[in-house]
């Protein structure tokens, strides 16, 4: 099957072909005809399956079929909500790439940058808006955006948006949209919360699942190296230099840990930069650009900041620290082995993380091969210590997290109820976030 067999217009197929693709992935082959038919869709797809093109291409087609003519102002007709700035930028880049031979216009809207250029852009014609929920609501409050004519709504990585506590923001946005519209929901996992959201949002949706839930790609080789907690940085530097790795994406649990590791790797003559929610958007964009071009050897990232990193042939992902939520392991290693390319996922695991490792293996239903690196053998008498789950001063976000050994038990609450979100630079008081970054989009990590 080719893209030209899916009912797409010649100008869209031409843009896809110019980008180097001729054969649709399974999610694209199933989703594109469904979206073109105009019905609602609930799609389960892991990262790296080509899901973005699975909804961008048919949206371009549907809007092109009745696109307004001329340069004048036109209403926003498609709204794509994403959990993070990076993913919003990535999706909008795909819209531009695949829609370059059409007359459709688009923009990405997210926090961390000045709101004024976005306000100016909204005054001109805009067909497709890709936005993070919080910054979109900032515009709604200022009455600078009109959502009354939206024909198609996409919730991309809906599971991540719920994990980040965006459910209230999403519901506020939904209340502003026309009742008659097409709804597309994409999620890597189908939790009870996702099903509840889908029940209230979707109308007789088509259901597509292209991979077993929480499955890891067969194209990714997974290995675990047992190391001492205080030898991880030396082991990472050794692996990078010994095997001459380039374009290595390294995950840490905290922003402080990402900063510290990037600095330490620099002292080992390994070019590295950190990317996380406290970095400015300009710094994040620059780091991503240098990493994609190969100028930057190592990118150290937290889980949320890495969403939207889309490098077709990223060879190496390293879990410098295992995530405390098993599903995040699947998301992390999904950055490599994309679109049929082979990749390698290495996890550096110390004695503190054995429980996390067992949880990951239960989730993916397989035992990961364990190895020891000669010269870095772990101390067999080492005892586990409590794990710090967040950066100093960082308030927990809205998902229930397994507590590490020795940490305080979180307060009880209703399952699925998002906790108040703190903006960087502020703290949660009385259920409201305080701080200086109200219009800087600080709530979007």
pLDDT digits (tens, 9 = 90+) for 393-404: 444 333 333 333
Tell whether 67 and 104 lie within a shared domain. Answer: yes
> What whole-number distance in Å separates Cα of residue 174 and Cα of residue 183?
11
CA distances from 443 to 74, 79, 310, 317, 440 (A): 29, 20, 23, 27, 8
Q: Which residues contact 54 (CB under 8 A, 6 or more apart)?
A: 25, 27, 28, 30, 31, 32, 35, 43, 45, 186
Tell whether 73 and 157 lie within a shared domain. Answer: yes
The answer as to whether 237 is a domain residue is: yes
The residue among 209, 235, 264 that closes a domain is 209
The answer as to whether 410 is a domain residue is: no
Tell whether 205 and 122 lie within a shared domain. Answer: yes
Cβ pair 170, 9 in contact under 8 A: no
Tell whether 164 and 20 lie within a shared domain. Answer: yes
pLDDT of the residue at 134: 93
Structure-block tokens of residue 385: 């210590």
- Written as one string, the DSSP assignment of 69-96 is PSSS-----EEEE-SSHHHHHHHHHHHH
Tell whether 184 and 226 lie within a shared domain. Answer: no
* Strands 432-434 and 427-429, bridge-based pairing: antiparallel
Q: What is the CATH number of the domain that holds 257?
A: 3.40.50.300
pLDDT of the residue at 390: 52
Tell whether 151 and 7 lie within a shared domain. Answer: yes
* Greatest distance between any 2 Cα atoms in the chain: 73
Torsion of CA 11, 12, 17, 20, to 10 degrees: 140
pLDDT of the residue at 118: 95
The answer as to whether 162 is a domain residue is: yes
Domain tally, the chain? 2
The answer as to whether 77 is a domain residue is: yes
The answer as to whether 58 is a domain residue is: yes
Helix, strand, or coil (residue 384) = coil
The answer as to whether 406 is a domain residue is: no
Tell whether 51 and 181 lie within a shared domain. Answer: yes
Tell whether 346 and 228 lie within a shared domain. Answer: yes
Give the count of alpha carbons within 13 A of 92, CB side only: 22
pLDDT of the residue at 403: 33
Structure-block tokens of residue 131: 């936005």
Task: Output DSSP code: residue 298.
Answer: E
Tell whether 57 and 157 lie within a shared domain. Answer: yes
CA distances from 428 to 395, 421, 432, 438 (A): 8, 7, 6, 13
Query: For the CA atoms of the chain, what is the radius of gyration?
Result: 22
The residue among 209, 236, 258 that closes a domain is 209
As averages over each run of 10 residues, the pLDDT of the chain (445 residues) reads 88 91 88 94 80 94 74 80 90 94 94 92 94 95 94 93 89 95 90 87 89 61 94 95 92 92 95 87 85 89 72 84 87 72 88 93 89 93 79 41 36 37 33 34 40
At 23-71, the pLDDT tens digits run 888 889 999 999 999 999 999 876 667 889 999 999 999 998 875 555 5
The parent domain of residue 52 ranges over 3-209
pLDDT of the residue at 418: 38
The residue among 371, 392, 410 that closes a domain is 371
The answer as to whether 377 is a domain residue is: no
pLDDT of the residue at 236: 96
Tell whether 144 and 243 lie within a shared domain. Answer: no
pTM score: 0.60
Torsion of CA 365, 193, 56, 212, to 10 degrees: 20
Structure-block tokens of residue 120: 């100016």
Cβ pair 337, 46 in contact under 8 A: no
Tell whether 136 and 26 lie within a shared domain. Answer: yes
The answer as to whether 78 is a domain residue is: yes
pLDDT of the residue at 371: 93
Tell whether 183 and 272 lie within a shared domain. Answer: no
């Amino acid at each position: 099957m080719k893209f030209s067999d899916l009912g797409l217009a010649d100008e869209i197929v031409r843009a896809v072909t110019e980008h180097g693709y001729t054969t649709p992935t399974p999610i694209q082959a199933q989703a594109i005809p469904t979206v073109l038919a105009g019905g609602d869709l609930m799609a389960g797809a892991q990262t790296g399956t080509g899901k973005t093109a699975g909804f961008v291409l048919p949206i371009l087609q549907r809007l092109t079929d009745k696109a307004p003519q001329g340069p004048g102002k036109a209403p926003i007709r498609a709204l794509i909500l994403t959990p993070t700035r990076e993913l919003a930028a990535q999706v909008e880049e795909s819209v531009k790439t695949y829609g370059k031979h059409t007359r459709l216009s688009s923009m990405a809207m997210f926090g961390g940058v000045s709101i004024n250029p976005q306000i100016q852009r909204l005054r001109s014609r805009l067909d497709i808006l890709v936005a993070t929920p919080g910054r979109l609501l900032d515009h709604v409050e200022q009455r600078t955006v009109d959502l009354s004519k939206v024909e198609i709504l996409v919730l991309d990585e809906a599971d991540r948006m719920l994990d980040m506590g965006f459910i209230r923001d999403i519901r506020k946005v939904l209340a502003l949209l026309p009742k008659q519209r097409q709804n597309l929901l994409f999620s890597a996992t189908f939790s009870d919360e996702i099903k509840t959201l889908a029940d209230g949002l979707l109308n007789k949706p088509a259901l597509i699942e292209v991979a077993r839930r929480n499955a890891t790609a067969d194209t990714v080789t997974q290995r675990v190296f047992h190391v001492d907690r205080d030898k991880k940085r030396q082991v990472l530097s050794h692996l990078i230099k010994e095997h001459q790795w380039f374009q290595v994406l390294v995950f840490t649990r905290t922003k402080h840990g990402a900063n510290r590791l990037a600095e330490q790797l620099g002292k080992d003559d390994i070019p590295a930069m950190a990317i996380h929610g406290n970095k400015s958007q300009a710094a994040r964009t620059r780091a991503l650009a240098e990493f994609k071009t190969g100028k930057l050897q190592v990118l150290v990232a937290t889980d949320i900041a890495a969403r939207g990193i889309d490098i077709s042939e990223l060879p190496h992902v390293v879990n410098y620290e295992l995530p405390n939520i098993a599903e995040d392991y699947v998301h992390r290693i999904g950055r490599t082995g994309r679109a049929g390319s082979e990749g390698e996922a290495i996890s550096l695991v110390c004695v503190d993380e054995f429980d996390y490792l067992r949880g990951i293996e239960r989730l993916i239903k397989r035992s990961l091969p364990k190895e020891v690196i000669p010269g870095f053998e772990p101390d067999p008498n080492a005892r586990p210590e409590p794990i710090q789950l967040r950066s100093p001063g960082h308030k927990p976000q809205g998902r229930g997290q397994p507590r590490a050994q020795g940490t305080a038990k979180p307060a009880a609450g209703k399952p699925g109820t998002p906790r108040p979100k703190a903006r960087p630079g502020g703290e949660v008081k009385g259920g409201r976030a305080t701080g200086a970054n109200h219009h800087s989009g600080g709530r979007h990590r």
